[in-house]
Amino acid sequence: MTTRALLFDSPFLLGFDQTRALIDRAAKAAGESYPPYNVEQIGEAAVRITLAVAGFTPDDLSVTVEGRQLTITGKREDAGRDPQAFLHRGIAARGFVRSFVLADGLEISGAQLEHGLLHVDLIRPEQEKLVRRIPITTTG
């Protein structure tokens, strides 16, 4: 981890503070293990993030984007439910916050809860190639 800090402290990499913050956020998010998730490439311009969120309803889940950070939050409202005596409790019931740093140009196209899996679809729209004509002036 000190290698990364030394790399961004180089005097030749001025103005990369935001990049350093993104890498730090990504490293922190990678260390979290709940809930488990998959990231899959779908075609050339689409990505799907799938989180295992068994027991969560759409009202318990939130998907937000701020800048380039996608945040998926799950909050369980256990208040008011009948107390249950579990003989074994293997299905996690705790809340979570899972964050992903998005590359430039990725956009969220939708989110869908299906059979205990939350799918968040991202697309990278094809960018127009802009050609700008620069006028040539003469002096004299």
pLDDT of 26 > 50? The answer is yes
The b/e string for 106-115 (b: 16+ C-beta within 10 A; e otherwise) is beeeebeeee
Pick from 11-20, 52-61, 70-79, 90-99: least confident: 11-20
Query: Where are the extended beta strands (E) located within the chain?
Result: 37-42, 46-52, 61-66, 69-74, 96-101, 107-114, 117-123
Residue type, 40: E
Do residues 113 and 53 make contact, with C-beta atoms less than 8 angstroms apart? yes
Q: Which regions of the chain carry the CATH code 2.60.40.790?
A: 34-80+88-125
Contacts of 17 (CB under 8 A, 6+ apart): 8
What's the topology of domain 34-80+88-125? Immunoglobulin-like (2.60.40)
Given this model, what pLDDT does residue 60 score?
Answer: 93
Model-level pTM? 0.65
Contacts of 56 (CB under 8 A, 6+ apart): 74, 76, 113, 116, 118
